[in-house]
Structure 1
Amino acid sequence: MSFSLCIIFYLLTGAIAGLLAGLLGIGGGAIVVPTLAFIFLHNGMPKEHIMHLAIGTSLTAMFFTSFFSSYSHHKKGRVEWDILLKTAPGICLGVFVGAFFSARMNTDTLTIVFAIYLIFISIQMFLKKDKVTEKKHLFKDSKPTLAGGGVIIGLLSGLLGVGGGTLTVPFLTYLGKSVHKAIGTSAACGFLITIVGTMSFTLLSSEAKNLPEGSIGFIYLPAALGVTVMSSIFAPIGAKISGQLSPKVLLKCFSILLFAVAVKMLV
């Protein structure tokens, strides 16, 4: 695969990731990581680092995606900043621990773990109900609850290079938040995840050997730049659409796509 063709794929990946980030409140890593892994594999990059590069690059690329997405939701009053502040300590700790383990796993193990994650969220999305009925919640949005949830969300995000939206949105809606505010707050949480994740992967991969030219540790700059440019453009578009469009059909189609990607990664 030529370098120019790779750039085109990076741009297309960024456009799709940005649209999904704004529309569904997810970071886009569920699409970015497997797509980058596929491109890196067919571009002749060292196999032992393919998943590490895909995960590290995904977190870096989602920095601007999450920023523009969260800013767009903030302008529409959908970000609950007090929730973010209570969740932040857990997220920061979880992301660093997740990145630590991710950097030390081999590519085959990371591929299996990521595929299992995709299967889980694809089933979750496919079975997601269109309306949330009022019910009593076991947990309140207290500091311990939010910090604990932040650790789990951050751990998964740092380990697999995802923005955590597939956990953050259902977690916040379970605590009684509206879907739109959960999506907006999830986008803001994703922005924090990308900051800590990028710093963690840069630090933890500084001594890695046999990396492709143009990379800083497990962050491949050409891919990060290509994904960032398009995702920054499309994230606000997705955020605008999310307030006007019911995502039910899109969620089901997206879940089927993720399931297919997971099966492809396992076979």
Structure 2
Amino acid sequence: MIFLLYLALGVVAGILAGLFGVGGGLIIVPVLIYSFTLQGVDPAVMTHLAVGTSLATIVFTSLNSIHGHHRMGATRWPLVGWMSIGIVVGCALGALTASWIPGNDLQTVIGVFAIAMAIQIAFNLRPKGGGTDYRPPGKPWLIGGGTIIGWASAIFGIGGGSLTVPFLLWRNLPAQQAVGTSAACGLPIAVAGALSFMWFGHGHDDLPAWSIGYVYLPGMVGIALTSMVSARIGVRLAHRLSPTLLKRLFAALLLVIGLNFLI
């Protein structure tokens, strides 16, 4: 029965990924926490397990997005390469930071972040693309930015799109390329983050069966199976619905999720 919940969650996460260009982490984490509560998972490890599992699922959901943006020529792979150096380091530091934060406090941190993202999306609070005056950001900027993005993404269990896109726009990358490059950065974030949570969660006696550290394999498999397919549905919907309506709906959803974590 719980596995059916993971399959359904994968459908929702995939559609949201296609609709809004995100990995779905802020949707996956709260539902995983709910499912772990039903399974009687120890609250001390529940949130960390949800974050680590979320990152593991984003490995799979990001692949379709990367392929699509690459085909459109919207991915700046040299930027991805240099940012990935910082991302790997940042994800390890983020997972370490998360392992030090008690479960309830980690939920509060995620809730505040979800509300902040809701405000950002609702009011479109992000830099504009640089257009014709684009100049590639220097390697120190890319590595440093990747480190911060990786650190935050690992704590929140997200693919980093809500952080990477504004960073690249701030560095004057054209908007479409910022989204495409951000999608490619989501893969190293997810891989490095998931592996880090596996490492820091290794050896905990309170974890449920079929866990590798802070990654719950049944949840990862169930979500990945359906999200990779349903992401295509989200892409089609994104081209049919009003962008303004989409932003408002997603902002409202994040606001509800954030408040749920805080109340």
Using the size of structure 2 for normalisation, the TM-score is 0.91
Aligned pairs for 1:24-173 within 5 A: 24-128=20-124, 132=128, 141-173=137-169
Mean Cα deviation higher: 166-175 or 14-23: 14-23
1:196-239 deviation digits (Å, cap 9, x = unpaired):
11211111111112111121111111111111011111234444
1:107-126 deviation digits (Å, cap 9, x = unpaired):
01101111111011110011
Partners in 1 of 2:180 and 2:132 — Cα distance?
23
Q: Which residue of 2 aligns with 1:212?
A: 208
1:70–1:133 Cα change, 3 Å: closer
Consecutive unaligned residues in structure 1, runs of 5 or more: none
Task: Give, as a single letter, the amino acid of the residue that structure 2 aligns with 1:103.
Answer: S
Partners in 2 of 1:243 and 1:255 — Cα distance?
18
Partners in 1 of 2:47 and 2:65 — Cα distance?
26
Q: Tell me if the contact between 1:25 and 1:169 (Cα under 8 Å) persists in the aligned partners.
A: no
- Is 1:16–2:12 an aligned residue pair? yes
- Is 1:249–2:248 an aligned residue pair? no
Task: Give, as a single letter, the amino acid of the residue that structure 1 aligns with 2:55.
Answer: L
Partners in 2 of 1:43 and 1:200 — Cα distance?
24
Aligned pairs for 1:229-240 within 5 A: 229-239=225-235
Partners in 1 of 2:18 and 2:174 — Cα distance?
16
1:130–1:262 Cα change, 3 Å: closer
Mean Cα deviation higher: 206-215 or 173-182: 173-182
Partners in 1 of 2:4 and 2:56 — Cα distance?
19
1:183–1:244 Cα change, 3 Å: farther
Taking only the aligned residue pairs, the percentage that are identical comes to: 37
Q: Tell me if the contact between 1:165 and 1:186 (Cα under 8 Å) persists in the aligned partners.
A: yes
Q: Tell me if the contact between 1:24 and 1:183 (Cα under 8 Å) persists in the aligned partners.
A: no
1:139–1:181 Cα change, 3 Å: closer
Task: Give, as a single letter, the amino acid of the residue that structure 1 aligns with 2:6.
Answer: Y
Pick the aligned partner of 2:188 from 192, 199, 203.
192
Q: Which residue of 1 aligns with 2:179?
A: 183
What displacement does 1:243 show? 6.4
Three-state SS of the structure 2 residue aligned to 1:66 is helix
Q: Tell me if the contact between 1:130 and 1:248 (Cα under 8 Å) persists in the aligned partners.
A: no
Partners in 1 of 2:50 and 2:87 — Cα distance?
21
Q: Tell me if the contact between 2:52 and 2:215 (Cα under 8 Å) persists in the aligned partners.
A: yes
1:154–1:131 Cα change, 3 Å: closer
1:187–1:85 Cα change, 3 Å: same
1:88-107 deviation digits (Å, cap 9, x = unpaired):
11111110100011122210
What displacement does 1:9 show? 2.1
Mean Cα deviation higher: 89-98 or 101-110: 101-110
1:118-174 deviation digits (Å, cap 9, x = unpaired):
011110011117994768999962211111111111001111211111111111122
Task: Give, as a single letter, the amino acid of the residue that structure 1 aligns with 2:178.
Answer: A
1:187–1:238 Cα change, 3 Å: farther
